[in-house]
Structure 1
Amino acid sequence: MIIDLTGIRDGTGPARLLDMVEGRSKQAFKTWLTERPQAWRDAVEVVAMDGFTGFKTAATEELPDAVTVMDPFHVVRLAGDALDACRRRVQQAIHGHRDRKDDPLYRARRTLHTGADLLTVEQCQRLNALFDGDDHVQVEATWGVYQRMITAYREPDRARGRELMTTLIESVSSAVPAVLTEVVTLGRTLRKRADDVLAYFDRPGTSNGPTEAINGRLEHLRGSVLGFRNLTNYIARSLLESGGFRPRLHPGLG
């Protein structure tokens, strides 16, 4: 899906669906961009995207003057996935089995993903008990990285938030103990996409959130019609549903 976020940025209306392309690949997006008029491409200022590098490459090649921004939701999810992977690895190493409902690490999985500023007293006590001792020190270290990322995004001062994120990226990109394999991998990704991650703080509000909202509407559409067998019809109906068109009665019906 290609979404136009201009209305949200300018405060003139909601996001709208521009088009739908079959396939999730660099070439699919690149081909779509090359089919747009040059004047249209020159007018694109910002491209919000998830972590898929194919979209980044296509946008850089076809929209060289546009700023690419990695959506905060997907950046935080990278850190959250690293935290989950670390928790499961430590769980397996300590207990010799996968997650079970009575295991402390498994029971704390949702609490670990809660921002530190939103933790209840009970949740704080649970985490303190979880991190007491050395058994879960790797989880605690990875959790700390996750919390620092959330803090950076929640910082109301954008300049300060950018500074916090820059420091975080630098700290997880070098001198990380090899035992923290998930943090090492996260640091490698953040270092590679640092410009895209930090660009968000210069352009607050640039997000893929509207894309997810439109996708939800299209899921409802697919359910209402019990599915589509023809891609062309699906795209046409989707554009009518979320393309920002204003319904008008035929003059003869007025």
Structure 2
Amino acid sequence: MGEVYGVPGKTFRRQYKKSLSGFKDWPQKPHAEDWILYPENCSCSLSLNEVALSQGELYTVLTSKTAKGRKGSIVAIIKGTQSETVIEQLLKIGRKLRKNVKEITLDMAGSMKLIAKRCFPDAIKVIDRFHVQKLATEALQELRINYRWEAIELENRLLDEAKKKKEPIEIETFENGDTRKQLLARSRYLLYKSREKWMPSQIQRAEILFTEYPDLKKAYGLSDGLRKIYNQNIPKSIAMTKLAHWFRDVETSGFKSFSVLRKTIMNHYSDILNFFDRRSTNASAESFNAKIKNFRLQFRGVKDRTFFLFRLTKLFA
């Protein structure tokens, strides 16, 4: 636009910020770096999440699901994730508006649950399914990574022995061309997906992997089994039964990481089961976080945080 009107880019940016944008008269400017509130955007269904605006500094973001990521999405953006700080600001929203909130989706962080409980007492808390599934996938990947380090150590030992004997190295290669180390490295992505989404090369790699490492096959079955419970459109009562069977399979597997996951699910059991009432997720909040990151990327970072938040609210508040 600066080129069209014959104005240098820096001059245009400065004029936009100081005069054209309305930033100078923004009512929330004095406290924007610490908190901004738009109570009028409060709806019956909200999402609570955290996002890093710049240099890894976290902000707690409360968004409305009704707006579907468009104008009217932002309810609050508050610096930090400490529950007491966030609660103090959210309590500035009128009690009537807060009591009208009937559902709030969030992750398993204790601070988030406390914020939801104190600020929105009548809202049902729903633990986001993708946070639970992510823990299951991480437990599976941890096992794969441990086996990979063993394979790397084995290959290093064979190389050392070959050097000492001054003989050519013989590295085991499977029928798809992978070495043991490559097999474990290249299996990363197929373990994230369900069997139905595997490509032909991934099917072959998975067959080799599960033959060589039966524990990975068992762990993949546990991770995939949890995903299938979530994917089924079933009532809460049936979900409870299926989770009980899954817990039993975890106990018999003997995998420490999955046992930790089972205990984590038990600690948040009722809020996790609330997903099966309306199948609500935190996807809208994650999508909004992606928009913030994309917006930040377009402007090569955040130099003036207050002005960045002002522009963000122009688009989404």
TM-score where L is the length of structure 2: 0.64
In structure 2, how many angstroms separate the alpha carbons of the residues matched to 1:240 and 1:166? 47
Shift of 1:4: 0.6
Give secondary structure in 1 for the equivalent of 2:125: strand
Deviation at 1:25, TM superposition (A): 2.7
Counterparts of 1:162 and 1:112, CA distance in 2 = 29
Q: Give the corresponding residue for 2:165.
A: none
Of the three residues 283, 292, 296, the one matched with 1:222 is 296
Separation of aligned partners in 1, 2:148 and 2:243: 26
Which residue number corresponds to residue 163 of structure 1?
238
1:118 is displaced (CA, Å) by 2.3
1:199 corresponds to which of 268, 271, 274: 274
Alpha-carbon shift at residue 123 of structure 1 (Å): 2.8
Report how far residue 223 of structure 1 moved. Answer: 3.3
Structure 1 residues 234 and 165: alpha-carbon distance in aligned structure 2, compared to 1, 3 A threshold: farther
Number of aligned residues: 233
**Greater share of residues in strand:** 2
Measure the CA separation in 2 of the matches of 1:17 and 1:236: 12
Q: C-alpha deviations, 1:122-153, integer Å up to 9, x for none?
A: 433322221225xx233222211110122122
Which residue pairs with 1:232 in the alignment? 306
Residue 180 in structure 1 maps to residue 255 in structure 2: yes
1:85 — aligned with what? Answer: 142
Q: CA deviation at 1:240?
A: 0.9
Task: State the shift of 1:88 in Å.
Answer: 1.2
Distance 1:219 1:175 in 2: 37
| 1:228 counterpart SS class | coil
Moved more, 225-234 or 206-215: 225-234
The reply on whether 1:154 has 2:214 as its aligned counterpart is no
Change (3 A) 1:220 1:127: closer
Is 1:5 aligned to 2:65, yes or no? yes
Equivalent pair of 1:169/1:194 in contact (CA under 8 Å): no
Cα contact 2:74–2:316 (8 A) shared by 1 = yes
What is residue 84 of structure 2 aligned with on the other side? Answer: 27
Q: Is the 8 A contact 1:59 1:68 kept in 2?
A: yes
Conserved? CA contact 2:91–2:119, under 8 Å = yes
Q: Deviation above 6 Å: which 4+ runs of structure 1?
A: none
CA drift of 1:233 comes to 2.7
Residue in 1 aligned with 2:31? none
Deviation at 1:213, TM superposition (A): 2.1
**Cα displacement (A) at 1:171:** 3.5
Instruction: Tell me if structure 1 keeps the 8 A contact 2:250–2:258.
Output: no
* 2-structure distance, mates of 1:162, 1:113: 28
Kindly name which structure, 1 or 2, has the bigger radius of gyration based on alpha carbons. 2
SS of the counterpart of 1:18? strand
Which of these residues, 165, 188, 193, is aligned with residue 109 of structure 1? 188
8 Å CA contact 2:229–2:242 kept in 1: the answer is: no
Q: Root-mean-square deviation (CA), in Å?
A: 2.9
Q: Would you say the 8 A contact 1:176–1:184 is kept in 2?
A: yes
- Contact kept? 1:49, 1:71, Cα under 8 Å: yes
Aligned-partner Cα distance in 2 for 1:58–1:166: 30
Answer yes or no: is the 8 Å Cα contact 1:19–1:235 preserved in 2.
no
How much identity, in percent, do the aligned residues show? 21
Correspondence for 1:137: 214
1:158 CA drift (Å): 2.8
Per-residue Cα deviation, 1:161-215 (whole angstroms, up to 9, x for no partner) = 86346533563379725841110111111111122221111012x2222222222
The 1:166/1:94 distance shift into structure 2, 3 A limit, reads farther
Deviation string 1:42-97 (CA, Å, 9 cap, x unpaired) is: 01111111232210122123322211111122221111111111211233346537
- Which of 121, 127, 130 is matched with 1:70 structurally? 127
Maintained 8 Å contact 1:69/1:196:
yes
Segment of structure 1 superposing worse, 109-118 or 85-94: 85-94
